[in-house]
Amino acid sequence: MRNESEKNDLTQPTSVIKRLRYLVMSLAMGIFFWQLLTLVLDLPAFILPGPGLVWRRFLQSLTDGQLYQHTLVTLYEILAGLFIGGLAATSLGYLLAKSSTLEKLLSPYLVASQSMPVVAIAPLLVIWFGPGMLSKIIICSLTVFFPILINTLIGLREVPQDLRNLMRTLEANPFQTFWKLEVPAALPVYLGGLRVGATLAVIGAVVGELVGADRGLGFLINVGRGQYDTALVFVALFTLIITAMALYGLVLFIETRLLSWQYWRQGKR
């Protein structure tokens, strides 16, 4: 797992510039059609604000510190939820992979917990843990828990038996088997789970905030809606999208780094 950047297409400077150029073009196109739509339909600003208005509202909420403050709250909830939920899911996943008895005992509960959407119990959690960040962190943890647990379990189960035998003939101790075999072998599947978890964490946090909160981007959406400040709703939505994309990109970046042995070959072919 060394640096392979010079062979990795995704990180080559020329290709990054090329990708950026397309991104800028597609953004410009989107804004153009949005502007066109507002001009043609001529709707009041509280139904569909134009890009100019949203941009001014964005600058305003940026300068008064409002946007920054609420984004930070939501981001904190997401990251804390991802961390706590991820840690719990990874540990439990490891234990379940090691003991099929434990898996058989717990799997009915795990499946049952999944048939109940976390969105549905969000109001309950807000009642129990208050409108502050704690209830959102719990909602986030619960949403990310299952995909990460499952992927930990599958990743570890799929470690080839022949490689386990190899480690045994080489007299590897359990710690070495863990770090030099199980972790790298399970990592591709595990990181896939983390990527899904990162996306779900954003949803979890916003759902929690929409149900009842005194801070955060979901709260900001509610405020904008209540005041017919639709431009503010748009600002909050865009910030959410960018946050979710950045988070997804971060996990993807970690993946390409840690799994360079996989991406290297894909880039070559």
Chain positions contacting another protein, by CB under 8 A? 1-2, 160, 162-163, 165-172, 176, 180-181, 184-185, 187, 259, 261-262, 264-265, 268
Q: Which is nearer to another protein, 226 or 269 (CB)?
A: 269
CB of 8 to another protein, least distance (A): 13
Rounded to whole angstroms, how far apart are CA atoms 105 and 114? 16
For 7, what's the count of Cα atoms within 13 Å in the CB-facing half-sphere?
A: 14
CB of 4 to another protein, least distance (A): 9
Q: Which is nearer to another protein, 42 or 171 (CB)?
A: 171
CB of 172 to another protein, least distance (A): 5
How far is residue 139 from each of residues 56, 136, 254, measured CA to CA in Å? 33, 5, 25
Structural contact between residues 90 and 151, judged by C-beta atoms closer than 8 angstroms: no
Q: Which is nearer to another protein, 238 or 261 (CB)?
A: 261
Q: Which is nearer to another protein, 104 or 168 (CB)?
A: 168
Q: Which is nearer to another protein, 22 or 175 (CB)?
A: 175
How far is residue 150 from each of residues 90, 139, 141, 263, measured CA to CA in Å? 9, 18, 14, 23
CB of 3 to another protein, least distance (A): 12
Structural contact between residues 139 and 118, judged by C-beta atoms closer than 8 angstroms: yes
Q: How many residues does the chain have?
A: 269
Secondary structure element (H or E) that encloses residue 214, with its range: none
> How buried is 134 (Cβ within 10 angstroms: 0-12 exposed, 13-18 middle, 19+ buried)?
middle
Q: Which is nearer to another protein, 32 or 179 (CB)?
A: 179
Q: Which is nearer to another protein, 14 or 161 (CB)?
A: 161
CB of 179 to another protein, least distance (A): 11
CB of 177 to another protein, least distance (A): 9
Place of tokens 């939501």: 74
CA torsion sign for 30, 35, 38, 40 is: negative
CB of 104 to another protein, least distance (A): 18
Query: What SS3 state is found at 156?
Result: helix
